[in-house]
């Protein structure tokens, strides 16, 4: 299953009308992961993404997609702190595979 297919499964989307948009958000989420983890740019182009990082990318991509109109959206949408909860969860997952440089 491709990353696009995993994101669409997470979003419960069964159409391809937004595939280009989702791929754009996925690229942004991967760039964020590489930066947060202190990895070189395009690291995940040439290296396998660990499962925890992949889950963070899926969650962040889904958040970008569901929040594209400026709302918080997503699985935390009933909470005032929804946007922050998404970022906290994503960052916790990304920390597991972080290159801890000083």
pLDDT for 85: 85
Question: Considering the entire predicted model, what is its pTM?
Answer: 0.87
Query: Low-confidence residues of the chain, pLDDT below 70?
Result: 70-80, 102
CA separation (Å) from 38 to 21, 82, 85, 95? 26, 26, 22, 10
pLDDT for 79: 62
Question: What distance in Å separates the CA atoms of residue 75 and residue 55, rounded to the nearest whole number?
Answer: 14
pLDDT for 89: 93
pLDDT for 33: 98
Do residues 65 and 22 make contact, with C-beta atoms less than 8 angstroms apart? yes
Range 3-95: architecture per CATH: Orthogonal Bundle (1.10)
pLDDT digits (tens, 9 = 90+) for 51-76: 999 999 999 999 999 888 766 555 55
């Amino acid at each position: 299953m491709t990353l696009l297919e995993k994101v669409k499964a997470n979003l419960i989307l069964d159409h391809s009308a937004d595939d280009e948009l989702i791929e754009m958000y996925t690229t942004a989420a991967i760039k964020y992961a590489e930066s947060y983890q202190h990895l070189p740019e395009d690291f995940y182009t040439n290296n396998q993404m660990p499962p925890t990082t992949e889950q963070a990318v899926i969650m962040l991509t889904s958040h970008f997609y569901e929040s594209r109109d400026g709302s918080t959206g997503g699985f935390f949408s009933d909470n005032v702190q929804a946007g922050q909860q998404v970022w906290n969860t994503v960052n916790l997952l990304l920390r597991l595979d972080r290159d801890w440089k000083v």
